[in-house]
Each structure stands twice: as structure tokens, then as C-alpha cells.
Structure 1
Amino acid sequence: MTIASPIRHPNTGSRDVMTRRGWWLVVLNLLMPGSAQVLAGNRKLGRFGLITTFVLWILALAVLVTAIVKPMLVVEIFTQTLVLWLVQIALLLYAVLWVVLTLDTLRLVRLVKARPSARAGIAAFAVVLLVAVSGTAAYGAVVAGSARGALSGIFSAAAPQAPIDGRYNIMLLGGDAGPGRDGMRPDSMSVLSIDANTGEAVSIGVPRDLDPVPFSDGSPMKKIYPNGYGYNDTCDVDVCQLNSIYTEVELYKPKLYPDATKENSQPGIEAMRDALEGVTGLKIQYYVLIDMEGFSQLVDALGGVTIDVKEKLPIGGDAQGNGVTGWIYPGVQHMNGYTAQWYARSRESTSDYDRMARQRVLEDAILKQFTPLTVATKFQDIAKAGSQVVKTDIPQSMIGYFADLGMKTRSLQQHNLELVPPTVDPSDPNYTQIHSLVQKSIAPPATPKK
């Protein structure tokens, strides 16, 4: 007689034996899926279940150890489309396997042979575990699918670019369709220059009322506006401002940038890149566009943001202050998406330069909300909102690298250079001076040794 005999060949006439056997089988099915079949049923199915379970445990342990030792490697691996496909398929298959093993375990239990008072408990325990485990695996598959769709929708499939002079320069655009506007235009413009090794970052804020605006060498817009966009009030839209470049190219000159769409960009975005390269003197590798019209969804998905408000700001209203529906009062506030959107948008009673500063504060607050716990617990909402709000040409293959770099950046003090009065006169900008300011900000002179 083997130890498995009471389980594989039980005394079916003893309700006590069959009850204990029933509990043993459902517990074994939980602790080691497939073991119930090896001991009491189809050994081939059981061995398949055990091998699958062991492989799952080994992979989970490997991911856990890697996450502790080198967390950004996990991010890099699990943000790749192929890996997410494999994870989604594997989790779906495991969910199906668990359902099969659990139903087969219930068959092996032979509930009718157990004590009547224990039958409901054994069955309920098995069903609850079935829903919990298979449901978790199925949900994991859904999350993997959502992640794959969101990442593919936001990021580019292009090959990575190398840093230039040891830095990555990223154009940040805050697009705002806004009420009463024909289409979207970028209201917030800046260049984030990041040291590719240390993560040290400099944010260069560019006001929209720079006039004229030069374009980088080789830009098709430079051929049209050799003296700069807006020179002598020359442009093809009603207002010759920096952010009008986006609108003009999108509406009237999209053919200037025929490859923009296939490179996960837009003609207007590429024209803005050429303009900000001309303004800052930096070569910009990537852009990130955040659509403020859907921005509130992202903030709500993150659970809100905490902002220290410095002055009273109106919610709603036009440039004349008509239609104000509420106020944002000074003090530390935890804002929902709607309030945060107006904190960034509000113009009445403050200048464009004040608004630029508020948007920097809001960007920093949002970055602080992107904690691993927040992302893990609210991933579905964040992924859904992110795919509607964020657009970029950063390659998906570089997510892990930039996540690692971002962790370094968060631990350092970020420096800001605002190209606004009194440092810069937007109506008469001196670009030689501006380029010098930019270079000093990203490569400050070394402190003399004492």
C-alpha cells in the first residue's frame, strides 16, 4: 500500500474519509495545482499542471529578484510589445488550465460521498479559489493587453537615438484645444535637457510670444521665413506667435514634413521642433505632447495631485473674465483633474509667464504621483487616459532606459531656465544671448579648486 492509496483508492463507504480526502484535494489544488490529479486522477494532466505551476513560480521568483536587484531591467523587459504578448497569452492559458484543474478536482472529490454538512463548504472553497486565481490570471492578461495597446499607441517603434554631447534634449508641448478654438495648438513649450549618465536635468521654458522665431538649419520653414517666423508681422495665420507655427503648418503646409506621420509625429510638431531648435541652439531628439483637453482624465487616474497654490485663480471664463464659475484659493490643495486643468490654463488676473511657471509646478506634481504603487493599483485607468492624452516619438525600446534615467533625475534638483522678462525681451529677442544662456545652464562652468 502506498501513501497515495487513501486518496487514489479511498474507502468510499466512509463519509469521514471522503470528507477529509475532499478537503485535502481542494487544498492541494490551491497550493500546488496539478498535485490532486497526480495523486487521485489523470497523472498526465497532473504532471502538466505541476510543470506549468513550477515554471510560473520560477518565472515569478526571477522577476521578483530582478525587481529588487535591478528594477529598471524589469521595466525595460515588460514594456516590450512581444513580451507583453507572451505574458498575455501565458496568463490566459494558465487561467484556462486552472479552471480545468479545479473542475477536475471537484469531480475527484465526489461530493456526494462526503458528509452532507461538509459538501457546501468544500464546493464553495473550491469555487472561490477558482474565481480568485483564474480571475487574477485573466485580469493580468487584460492588464498586459492594455499595457501593450497603450504603449504601442503612445510610443514610437523607431530605433533608439544616441545622446548628443552626452545629453538627451526633449521638446515638451502642452497642447490645448480649449473652448472656442479651431483645433489644437501648443500653449506650453519647453525643452528638457537631460544628462544621459547622471540624469541631471535642465528645463528651458520658452514663451509663446517670442517674435521673430528662427528655425534650425535645414528646416523647410527656414526657406519660407529666412528672417524668422513673425518678422515684420509675416505669417499665414491671424497671430504670428511661436505656437502659431503648429497651427499654420497643420492647416496650410503639412507637405513640408511628408514623413512626420510615419515617424509617430505630425507636421506641426516637426515645425515646432525646428523652431525650438532655432530658439535654444540645441538639437532635439524627441518630443512629448500632452493634450490638455483630456489632461484631467490622467490626473484623475493618478488619484489627483497636490499643489501649493500661491494666488487666487479663476475657474472658467474668457480673456475678459466673463463666465467665471469658481475659484482656486491659495494654500496646499489636493486637486482633481478638472481643478488641475484650470490651474494650468487660467489666464485671467495673471500673465502668460505666471501660467508657464504654474505648468512647471503641475508637471513636477504629476511626476511625483507616478509611484510604482500608484501605477500598479491604477494601471488600467492610467493606461486608458495616457493613450488619449500623451503622444511622443520616444521609441518603446527606450522606456526602460528613460525610466532609469528618470529615477536619477527625481533624486536631483532640477534647474529651470525661463526665457522670459527681464532675462529675455520676447518682442526683441537676442538669440546669441539666448544660446549662451542655454549653454551655461546645461554646462555650468566648473567650480575652481581651492
Structure 2
Amino acid sequence: MRVTVRSGERGDDGGAAGRRVGRRPGLLKAAGLTLAGVLVLGAGTAGWAYWHLNDNIKSVDINSALGEDRPPVAVPSPSSSAAPLAGSALNILVLGSDSRSGKENAKLGGGDSGGARSDTAMVVHVDEGRTEATVVSIPRDTLVTRPSCPLSTGGSTEVAYGTMFNSAYSVGGPVCAVKTVESLTGIRMDHYIEIDFSGFAKLVDALGGVTVTTDEDIDDEDSHLKLEAGTHHLDGEKALALARTRHGIGDGSDLGRIGLQQKLVKALLDQISSTSLLTSPTKLYRVADAVTGSLTTDTGLDSLSELISLGQSLKNLTSADLRTVTMPVVQAPSNPNRVVADEPEASELWESLT
């Protein structure tokens, strides 16, 4: 069974499962510009707010952990006419973590499982001028060769063949997730951004919820979500349940969940666009607190100033400048419930981003 997903047209975020993955670069831009607003307001009202938000951000020193055994860093082409705040092309691994650690995450995730996996994985590629972007979703059910990864406690993991893609985060955290993506794609990840269960729910609540239209009834015992087909205004907990739903819709595969996540990301962007954050310092602070409190980044993005700089460099991106795709996959010969990269199409996709 072939489940290959081809490139989408720019700006088209139609709802078919697996065809599009949403406007994640727009979310990065919105986060950066929201934090920029906090910086301006905080400087004139309460400087402590800036320092609190700055201290919220958690980070991992991925560059030191991985060393030089990585794909090369992208450099600007000699003919590049990159705009100010731009420069070389940029590749960002964006993960949604299904961590159950902590009371809030355990409640939202259905109990403390003592571990975590990458529930959502997207590679965001931004061009040199920061005027065009491609977002590639990697299905979590993809079987891959997981490379040996260094552990924070010392030593390293064993190479694993034909293992689930999202197991990399489970066994080696962000460092192993990045190394596995770089091994799979041949592309160096310049930055890493992760958001967890409770942080996502808090962000949705801080924005006043999101409005989503579903095409069919949803009844998923695992995510505890029941929705009739139609339009719904969801709070943070229900929005998170929608993002996690897979068994209650379509064929129960991860590609079906990607379709729901696409709807949710678009709804979140619409809510951000319709909310006058800069005219409400209180709401602006709540949103910024939710954003920074839910993030784990690499050390190159672990401060407000660095996140703001990223957001400002993406300010000229619009939905018409985005190409959103899912890595081409086919059913795994060894397991009908798993997929593998569809070659040579998958490699050609990654090569197009270098």
C-alpha cells in the first residue's frame, strides 16, 4: 500500500489527512513578535516581567553534545540578496513532546508514564532571505535507523535498526531526536524548539481558546475526545486532545492525526491574528508566559532576545510563501501499522532543501 504524500501548493492548507501540516513558520513568527511586544511593554512598565519570561525558557546544548559529526552548516550563497536580519538558510526541528512528567502533563497525557516521545515532528526550512519556507512533517510511526546518541549521564545508546522514529526522543531526548533527524535527512538542524502538553494547553487558554471545524464525528477513547462533526470552540485541554487524536478518525493512522493537527495549527494562527495582544498588556503577558514556559530550545534560542530576533527575521513570511508537505512514506513490509520512507522520493525531497 503506497501512502506517499506529494508536495503541496504554497499557501494551500487543505484538510486532507497527511497532505498538509499547517503554517508552523507563522507560529514561530507570531511567537517572536509577541515576545517583542512584551519586551517593549515590559521596558516601560515592569522590567521584572522580562527577566521572568527570560528565565522561563529551558535549553539543551545540542551543539556541544553532538560535536562535529554532523551535516555541514549552511552558508549564504555568494549571490544572496538576503534582507536585513536574514542570512543563511535556516533549518529548525520543531517537536511536540508527549511527556507525562509533572502533575499537569500527567493529567493531560493520561498518567505519568515515566518517559516521553516526540508526538509531532516537523522540519522547518527557511530560505536565505527569510521570504520562503518549507515545512516537512515526519510521521512518528516511521521506521528508521536510529544512530548511536550521546547520553547526558555519560556513554551512548546503541544503533537501532527498523525502530520507531519517535523512540529517539524517548531514549536520548532532544540530542538524539536531532541526531536521528540529521541522519534521516542529511540536513543539519540549526535550531531545536520543543513544546510540551501543558504548555500547549496553557497557550490555547491564554489566547481564549481556538475555533475548529471537524468534517466527521470524533470518538477517541485514548485522547478522551468526543466531538460531533461541525464547528467547536475548544479550550486548551480539548485542543490538546484534538492534536493527539488518531484512533477516533479516518484509518487510525498517524497521517490522520497530522490532518487534525493541521486544522488546529491554522485555528491557533487565526486566533493569534484576531487577538489584539498589543492593546492588552495583561493578555500579552499571559500569552508570552505560556509560550516561554512551555519551550525547550537549543542554546542558540534560549533567551527572549534570540527568540525575538528569529521572529523579526520571519516577519515578511506570509501563507503564500509556504510549501507544506509530509515526508513521502509507504507501508512498512514488516508491519502494516508502520511506514518507511518512500525512496527515492524522500531523499529527493530532503536534497531539494539543501
Q: 1:148 aligns with which of 35, 45, 51?
A: 51
1:224 CA drift (Å): 5.3
* Counterpart position of 1:419: 327
Residues 281, 424 of structure 1: alpha-carbon distance in 2 compared, 3 angstrom cutoff: farther
Matched, 1:355 2:244: no
Q: Which moved more, 1:418-427 or 1:190-199?
A: 418-427
* Counterpart position of 2:161: 230
Mark the runs of 5 or more structure 2 residues left unpaired by the alignment. Answer: 1-31, 62-72, 77-87, 101-108
Q: Which amino acid aligns with 1:414?
A: L
More strand per residue: 1 or 2? 2
Alpha-carbon contact 2:59-2:296 (below 8 Å) kept: no
Mark the runs of 5 or more structure 1 residues left unpaired by the alignment. Answer: 1-72, 92-139, 232-239, 250-267, 444-450
* Counterpart position of 2:95: 173
1:284 CA drift (Å): 0.3
Alpha-carbon contact 1:199-1:405 (below 8 Å) kept: no
Give, in whole Å, the separation in 2 of the partners of 1:78 and 1:308. 30
* Counterpart position of 2:266: 364
Deviation by residue 1:375-420 (Cα, 9 ceiling, x = unmatched): 5521232133223322222253333332223332235342122125
* Counterpart position of 1:106: none
Deviation by residue 1:318-369 (Cα, 9 ceiling, x = unmatched): 38xxxx5x52222333322122111101122332111122223322332343
Matched, 1:386 2:291: yes
Alpha-carbon contact 1:300-1:336 (below 8 Å) kept: yes
Alpha-carbon contact 2:60-2:296 (below 8 Å) kept: no
1:312 CA drift (Å): 1.7
SS of aligned partner of 2:341: coil
Alpha-carbon contact 1:302-1:370 (below 8 Å) kept: yes
Q: Which amino acid aligns with 1:179?
A: G
Q: 2:243 aligns with which of 332, 340, 344?
A: 344
For 1:17-416, what aligned pairs fall within 5 Å after superposition?
87=43, 140-141=45-46, 144-154=47-57, 164=75, 166-176=88-98, 177=100, 178-180=109-111, 181-215=113-147, 220=150, 225=158, 229-231=160-162, 240-249=163-172, 268-314=173-219, 317-318=221-222, 324=224, 327-349=226-248, 350-371=252-273, 373-374=276-277, 376-377=279-280, 378-393=283-298, 394-396=301-303, 397-416=305-324
Give, in whole Å, the separation in 1 of the partners of 2:93 and 2:318. 19
Residues 406, 305 of structure 1: alpha-carbon distance in 2 compared, 3 angstrom cutoff: farther
Alpha-carbon contact 2:60-2:297 (below 8 Å) kept: no
SS of aligned partner of 1:230: strand
Give, in whole Å, the separation in 2 of the partners of 1:296 and 1:208. 21
1:74 CA drift (Å): 9.3
More helix per residue: 1 or 2? 1
Q: Which moved more, 1:328-337 or 1:197-206?
A: 328-337
TM norm structure 2: 0.66
- Rg larger for: 1
TM norm structure 1: 0.53
Give, in whole Å, the separation in 2 of the partners of 1:417 and 1:370. 23
* Counterpart position of 1:437: 349
1:184 CA drift (Å): 2.5
1:287 CA drift (Å): 1.0
Instruction: Tell me the C-alpha RMSD between the 2 structures.
Output: 3.6
Q: Which amino acid aligns with 1:146?
A: A
SS of aligned partner of 2:129: coil
Deviation by residue 1:56-98 (Cα, 9 ceiling, x = unmatched): xxxxxxxxxxxxxxxxx99897777xx988x3xxx5xxxxxxx
Identity %: 25
